Chains A and B, each alone.
Chain A
Amino acid sequence: MKKLMTTDDLARDERFRRTPVPLDFLMAEEVTVEQVEETMLMLLGNDEMRQTLEQQSAGGGGPNIFRRVRPEEDDAPVFIKSQMHGIFMGEMQALEAAGRSAWDFTDDDELPWKFQFDMARQCWDETRHVETYSALLDHVGCDIGEFAENLFLFEFGCSDDPAERVVGVNRCLEGLALDVFNDTIRFGRSADDDTIWKSVDYVSADEVTHVRFGQVWSKALTADDPERRAKIVNFQRKVDRAFSLGGLRGAYDGANTEQFLPLAIEFRKLAGFTDQDIADVAGAAPKVKGRR
């Protein structure tokens, strides 16, 4: 089996369709609101979702992807389906990325065995998340493949440097996952839906451990190597930028209950984020021009 696989090589069954990874958009210094909307539709949308958003636009005020959807709203079913399907795909790629990280560096004599051990543990944990989200998709009436798959998660987890791997996947991506789960838990609680919030609560607890792996390994692997450290920090900035989803996430404030996906500050701190780390993530978004 070869080392270092690319997103093109990921094995899927016939239900899955792919959308291109919008790398230029994700890395831009400045984006427009229209670009954000367009990209999000491409990433999260299916026909039902597009229709919903078009109806909102026709009603004036633009689509509501910038604000949080409440469970009792008409759009809630399609939004939760889209979100859960996105996370389901993310968990699957996280599972694959953890498995690859266990395999790809077996020839690296510098890398402690504990790294492989942690990745193997993560492989098990992500499997549970795939299972949980598959069950939750059923719960909200969504089928696997109902939305397209975007591979930008795995894209940032393909690096040949294990330190970049854990920064991309464990710190940035799973940090984003903490924010999403926090949001889903609130959604489930306000919908009085125990199945959603109680199961995502456990998934979120697992994710804290993974983000911690990322914090620990990125520091340990670069401790005596300032050059590598600088390279990693640079990579981290890029990925933080990409995962700000073109600034879509708006105000990064855990107390914010209106806007889309605020930072889960408490969970991130539990996972080892310092105030500076949190400020870095919050400041990573590009400038967004146009109406909000």
Chain B
Amino acid sequence: MTASRSDAHANGGGPVRGYGPGRLAQPFPYWDRRRLMGEWTVEESVQRIVHYKWAEQHLSAAIGGWVATIPELDVKAMLGPHCYQHAWHADLWRQRLPELREKDEARAEPPNDAFIEFMDELTSPEAADATIEKLVGIYRVLVPHLLAVYSYHQRVTSDIVDAPTVRILKFMIDDDIEQLICGEMMVQDLARTAKLRTRAGKWQTHLDVLLVKAGGVAGEETLGGRPRIGMPPRAVLGAALRQRRQAASAASAGGVVAG
């Protein structure tokens, strides 16, 4: 292989060894595989965050509102912490906004009318016997959606320049996984009859269809894009490989380092 710039200099990922001032490292350990480039600009990040924040605020409010409408004490008690957790997520987003040059940290906006319609429907059950619909809306529809979207966001944004977002997403995802588990256990325990399971399934599909009409918590572009797994350069074979090897041996015979 030709001696490339990165082989010839410690700065470009050459071997890093030793202890003290002789260790010529980059400010990354050599096992670091984070990426500099992410999916969104600063402005695009802000735009997504104000949508997330709107959903978190509304979800938290609805969970709080439902506590008093639910007769099952174990369900009632489960909702309290989750009401807080979604408010806390909204607050983490509030704090992140000015760090991304957004002047108005109070900004919270639905992505489109269809998402408002979805949230209106999700938060519509009120009757004391509608516990199953309330739980399905939270734990089988919106929380799994947020988990998917937050995980996607965490994987495609830059883990270097947007690290504070990656970090707060970690807390939110952690909460949401726990909520998903608690909520699903509760649904399975409450809905022990065919009739209740059917109700649960029907309501879930109904809400899911509304959600897909909105595109998702951040609208049309909630998920998606082209795949871009980090890959080494294309294979060099045949004549190209021959030429490269000839050039390399000519360079080393001349004592010249390419680059």
Query: Is the pair B25, A13 in contact by a Cβ cutoff of 8 Å?
Result: yes
From A127, A130, A202, B42 is in contact (CB under 8 Å) with A202
Known contacts being A138-B12, A205-B42, is A13 close to B160, with CB within 8 Å?
no
A12 touches B11 (CB 8 A): no
Decide if B21 touches A144 in the complex (CB within 8 Å): no
Instruction: Please indicate the chain A residues that have their CB under 8 angstroms from the CB of B98 in the complex.
Output: 209
The answer to the question of A38 belonging to the interface, with a C-beta cut-off of 8 Å to chain B, is no
Does A224 have its Cβ within 8 Å of any Cβ on chain B?
A: no
Which residues 12-50 of B have a CB within 8 angstroms of A? 12, 20-28, 36-38, 41-42
B28 x A134 contact (CB < 8 A): yes
> In the bound complex, do residue B28 and residue A131 qualify as a contact, i.e. CB atoms below 8 Å apart?
yes
| Min C-beta distance of A41 to chain B, whole Å | 23
Q: Which of A55-63, A99-107, A192-200 lies at the interface with chain B? A: A192-200
- Interchain CB contact under 8 A, B99 and A143: no
- Tell whether B5 is near chain A: CB-to-CB under 8 Å: yes
Q: Tell whether, in the assembled complex, residue B9 and residue A206 are in contact, meaning their CB atoms are under 8 Å apart.
A: no
- Do B41 and A128 touch across chains, with their CB atoms under 8 A apart? no
- Say if the beta carbon of B117 comes within 8 Å of chain A: no
Asked whether, in the complex, the Cβ of B37 is within 8 Å of the Cβ of A199, the reply is yes
Closest to B157 in A: A202
Residues on B with beta carbons closer than 8 Å to the beta carbon of A53: none
Residue of A nearest to B20 (CB): A13
Contact of B26 among A12, A134, A194, A270 (CB under 8 A): A134
In the complex where A13-B24, A14-B22, A15-B24 touch, is A132 in contact with B160 (Cβ < 8 A)? yes
Q: Does chain A have a CB within 8 A of B241? A: no
B99 touches A206 (CB 8 A): yes
For B161, the closest partner residue in chain A by CB is A202
A20: which B residues are within 8 A, CB to CB? none
A152-205 with Cβ < 8 A to chain B: 194-195, 198-199, 201-203, 205
Contact of B36 among A124, A142, A195 (CB under 8 A): A195
Does B101 make an interface contact (CB < 8 A)? yes
Q: How distant is the Cα of A14 from the Cα of B12 in the complex, in angstroms?
A: 16
Q: Is A198 a contact of B41 with CB atoms below 8 Å?
A: yes
Residues on A with beta carbons closer than 8 Å to the beta carbon of B9: 143
Q: Provide the bound-state CA to CA distance between A12 and B20, in Å.
A: 9
Q: Is A137 an interface residue (CB 8 A)?
A: yes
Within the complex, what minimum Cβ distance (angstroms) separates B17 from chain A? Answer: 12
Interface size on A, residues (CB 8 A): 34
Q: How far is the CB of A187 from chain B (nearest CB, A)?
A: 16
Residue A80 is within 8 A (CB to CB) of chain B in the complex = no
A22 adjacent to chain B (CB < 8 Å): no
- When the two chains form their complex, are residues A135 and B42 in contact, meaning their CB atoms are under 8 A apart? no
B42 near A194 with CB under 8 A, answer no
* In the complex, A208 has a CB within 8 A of chain B: yes
Contact yes or no, B11 A143, CB < 8 A:
yes
Q: With an 8 A cutoff between CB atoms, is A141 at the interface?
A: yes
What residues of chain A lie closer than 8 Å to B5, measured between beta carbons?
Answer: 141
Chain A nearest CB from B171 CB (Å) reads: 16
Mark A102-144 against chain B: 1 for CB-CB distance below 8 A, else 0.
Answer: 0000000000000000000000100110111011111001111
* Separation of A195 and B21 alpha carbons in the complex (Å): 30
A228 to chain B, nearest CB (A): 28
Q: Is the CB of A205 within 8 A of B100?
A: yes
Assembly CA distance A243 to B225 (angstroms): 43
Q: Please state if B12 and A143 are interface contacts (CB–CB under 8 Å).
A: yes
Distance in angstroms from B235 CB to nearest chain A CB is 24
In the complex, which of the residues A12, A13, A15, A201 contacts B41, with contact meaning CB atoms closer than 8 Å?
A: A201
- Indicate whether A208 sits within 8 Å of B101 (C-beta atoms), given known contacts A135-B160, A194-B37, A201-B42: yes
Q: B184 in the interface, Cβ–Cβ < 8 Å?
A: no
In this assembly, does B103 line the interface, its C-beta being within 8 Å of a C-beta of chain A?
yes
Q: How many angstroms between the C-alpha atoms of A135 and B21 in the bound complex? A: 21
A84 to B: closest C-beta gap in Å? 12
Contact A12 B163 (CB under 8 A): no
Q: How distant is the Cα of A91 from the Cα of B160 in the complex, in angstroms?
A: 15
| B11:A132 contact, CB within 8 angstroms | no
Q: Mark B210-252, 1 if CB is under 8 A from A, else 0.
A: 0000000000000000000000000000000000000000000
Check A198–B101 contact: CB distance below 8 A. Answer: no
- A21 to B85: give the CA distance in the assembly, Å: 51
Residues in B whose Cβ lies below 8 Å from that of A131? 27-28, 160
Q: Please, which residue of chain B has its CB at the minimum distance from the CB of A202?
A: B161
11 A-B pairs (CB sep. < 8 Å): A13-B23, A13-B24, A128-B160, A135-B160, A144-B10, A195-B36, A198-B38, A199-B37, A199-B158, A201-B41, A201-B42
Q: What 7 A-B pairs come out closest when comparing CB atoms?
A: A202-B161, A143-B11, A13-B21, A135-B36, A130-B27, A205-B101, A144-B11
Given contacts A13-B23, A14-B21, A144-B11, 8 further A-B contacts (CB under 8 A): A13-B20, A13-B25, A124-B163, A128-B160, A131-B27, A136-B36, A137-B11, A209-B99
Which residues of chain A have a CB within 8 Å of any CB of chain B? 11-15, 124, 127-128, 130-132, 134-138, 141-145, 194-195, 198-199, 201-203, 205-206, 208-209, 267, 270
